[in-house]
């Protein structure tokens, strides 16, 4: 059985498909969205997170690290991440939980051990297991095996995807997925490339493939005020809802800036700093989408 690199496992999730779910976040993503709310998921390998607000400058990490990554003084703590081997010794030594390794290799059996305790909740609420990321199809062997293991236990399966993966990967997991949560981040391909790093045509081809094969799909559209909430993009979302009239819903995911702090913790500079989408903005989006003929709008 393949093993996978897991970013996190979230039990009791209410936002990644119907009912109460366990969401398994797989590491690695082929996109680099400006607004990414899980930037620590983008790298395929484990990463060291540092939360400055928790650090008490005790220097235990510097003592534990054999690679001189940490320079600690009473007033500052500087990390030279280029030297880090992500061994985790510093995190284990930190008394303040200011350091954490995100990303661990797990087997299917280990993941299922964390998924199974909530099986009664899944059954009572029509919930189940959701694979998310990152992009779960970057680890398609592991994803398929995990979906199969859930199916064997009678657990409902959902897969959240950015849509950027080989068609063969989608064809492989399609029979194992009860619900796809399929991202649609922008209707203009050049803007999509500028904002996510890839054009949108292959994503549309995969959406089309899944839809025509009869997959149940919720289209998930992140909207960022002033970035991708143009009239043209809203019209593009509405056009998709009309073309793919059997979609299970169009879910609008309003921007929030929580990803910026996570980016800093993983040693990245935030690439977008905007106020969160407020209630007034969401109302305008909903009204515009409805006026454009968009069906089944869900605002999260
Ligand atoms: S993870 Fe290992 S190599 Fe990296 S800073 Fe910590 S102790 Fe040093
Ligand atoms: S061990 Fe933790 S609290 Fe102490 S200096 Fe390092 S990060 Fe800060």
Residue in 151, 298, 300, 117 with CA at minimum distance from that of residue 131:
151
**Given a cut of 90, is residue 240 above it in pLDDT?**
yes
Q: Alpha-carbon torsion 249, 254, 257, 258, what sign?
A: negative
Instruction: Flag whether pLDDT at 271 surpasses 90.
Output: no
51, 52, 55, 63, best to mutate for ligand 2 pocket (most atoms within 8 Å of CB): 55
The mean pLDDT value for 189-197 works out to: 97
Atom of ligand 1 nearest to the CA of 66: 8
- Mean pLDDT value of segment 262-274: 91
Q: What mean pLDDT comes out for the span 196-214? A: 98
Q: Work out the percent of the chain whose per-residue pLDDT is above 70.
A: 100
> Looking at the predicted structure, is the pLDDT value of residue 164 above 90?
yes
The mean per-residue pLDDT over the stretch 279-291 comes to 93
Please give the C-alpha separations between residue 72 and each of 57, 82, 88, 139, in angstroms, as whole numbers: 6, 17, 17, 37
**Predicted local distance difference test score (pLDDT) of residue 39:** 93
Q: Which residues line ligand 1 (CB under 6 A)?
A: 48, 64-65, 67, 69, 84-90
pLDDT confidence of 282, banded at 50, 70, 90? very high
Mean pLDDT of 65-86: 97
pLDDT confidence bin for 275, thresholds 50/70/90: confident
- What is the number of the ligand 2 atom nearest to the C-alpha of 90? 1
Other Cβ atoms less than 10 A from the Cβ of 92: the count is 12
Per-residue confidence (pLDDT) for residue 4, from 0 to 100: 98
Average pLDDT of the residues in 156-184: 98
Query: Is residue 234 within 8 Å of residue 289, measured between CB atoms?
Result: yes
Supply the pLDDT for residue 292.
93
pLDDT at site 166: 97
Give CA–CA dist 23/170, Å, rounded. 19
**In the structure encoding, which two tokens stand for residue 188, read together?**
């203009």
Q: What percent of the chain has pLDDT over 90?
A: 93
Rg (CA), the chain: 20
Kindly give the distance from the C-alpha atom of residue 257 to the centroid of ligand 1, in angstroms, as a whole number.
28
Compute the distance between CA of residue 254 and CA of residue 122 in angstroms, rounded to an integer: 27
Instruction: Say if ligand 2 is within 6 A of residue 55 CB.
Output: yes
Beta-strand relationship, 156-161 and 179-183: parallel
Q: Is residue 257 over pLDDT 90?
A: no
Instruction: Write down the pLDDT at residue 244.
Output: 95
* DSSP H helices in 9-139: 60-64, 89-93, 108-115, 119-125
Mean pLDDT of 12-25: 97
Per-residue pLDDT averaged across 162-175, rounded? 98
- Between the CA of 97 and the centroid of ligand 2 the distance, in Å, is 8
Residue 35's pLDDT is 94
129 alpha carbon – ligand 1 mean position (Å): 33
Residue whose CA is at the smallest distance from ligand 1 atom 8:
65
């Amino acid at each position: 059985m393949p093993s996978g690199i897991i970013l996190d496992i979230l039990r009791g999730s209410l936002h990644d498909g119907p009912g109460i779910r366990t969401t398994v976040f797989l590491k690695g993503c082929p996109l680099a969205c400006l607004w990414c709310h899980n930037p620590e998921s983008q790298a395929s390998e484990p990463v060291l997170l540092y939360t400055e607000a928790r650090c008490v400058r005790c220097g235990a990490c510097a003592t534990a690290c054999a690679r001189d990554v940490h320079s600690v003084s009473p007033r500052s703590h500087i990390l030279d991440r280029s030297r880090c081997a992500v061994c985790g010794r510093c995190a284990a030594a930190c008394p303040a939980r200011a350091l954490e390794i995100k990303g661990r290799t797990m087997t299917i059996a280990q993941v299922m051990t964390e998924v199974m305790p909530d099986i009664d909740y899944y059954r009572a609420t029509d919930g189940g297991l959701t694979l998310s990321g990152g992009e779960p199809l970057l680890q398609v062997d592991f994803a398929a095996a995990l979906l199969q293991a859930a199916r064997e236990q009678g657990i409902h399966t959902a897969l959240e995807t950015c849509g950027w993966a080989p068609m063969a990967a989608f064809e492989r997991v399609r029979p194992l997925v009860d619900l796809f949560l399929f991202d649609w981040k922008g209707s203009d391909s050049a803007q999509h490339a500028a904002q996510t790093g890839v054009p949108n045509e292959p994503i549309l081809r995969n959406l089309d493939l899944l839809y025509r094969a009869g997959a149940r799909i919720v289209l998930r559209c992140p909207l960022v005020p002033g970035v991708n909430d143009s009239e043209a993009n809203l019209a593009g979302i509405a056009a998709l809802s009309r073309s793919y009239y059997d979609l299970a819903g169009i879910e609008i995911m309003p921007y929030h800036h929580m990803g910026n702090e996570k980016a800093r913790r993983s040693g990245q500079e935030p690439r977008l700093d905007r106020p969160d989408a407020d209630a007034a903005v969401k109302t305008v989006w909903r009204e515009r989408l409805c006026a454009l003929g968009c069906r089944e709008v869900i605002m999260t």
